[in-house]
Amino acid sequence: MFAERIGYIVWFSDWKAARGLDKYGTLHYLSRKMQYAVLYMNADAAEEATRNLQRLPFVRKIERSYRNEIKTEYESNVPDKTRFYGL
């Protein structure tokens, strides 16, 4: 149904030039102070897009985001104590 998306953290040196990163995927966030961008793109075109991003003169480093691989379902073996503190 939905295409698999991969997130990348792109470290850059020129903020004005980094605003043009939306050509390579969905630009989610730009940090002016720390000079990085969060970019999401389709998994099937990600390898080619990262090669093209590396060639840009203002890109310093590209890191893959592992957000979709982090476990988000938590289990708790501790009993819930909130019912004891009710009125």
The domains found in the chain, sorted by start residue, are: 5-69 (3.30.70.80)
Q: What average pLDDT does the chain have?
A: 89
| pLDDT of amino acid 87 | 57
| pLDDT of amino acid 26 | 94
Strands, DSSP E only, in 1-87? Answer: 5-12, 26-31, 36-42, 59-64
| pLDDT of amino acid 8 | 96
Calculate what percentage of the chain has a pLDDT beyond 90. 70
For the segment 34-44, the average pLDDT, to the nearest whole number, is 95
For the segment 13-40, the average pLDDT, to the nearest whole number, is 95
Interatomic CA distance for residues 71 and 37, integer angstroms: 24
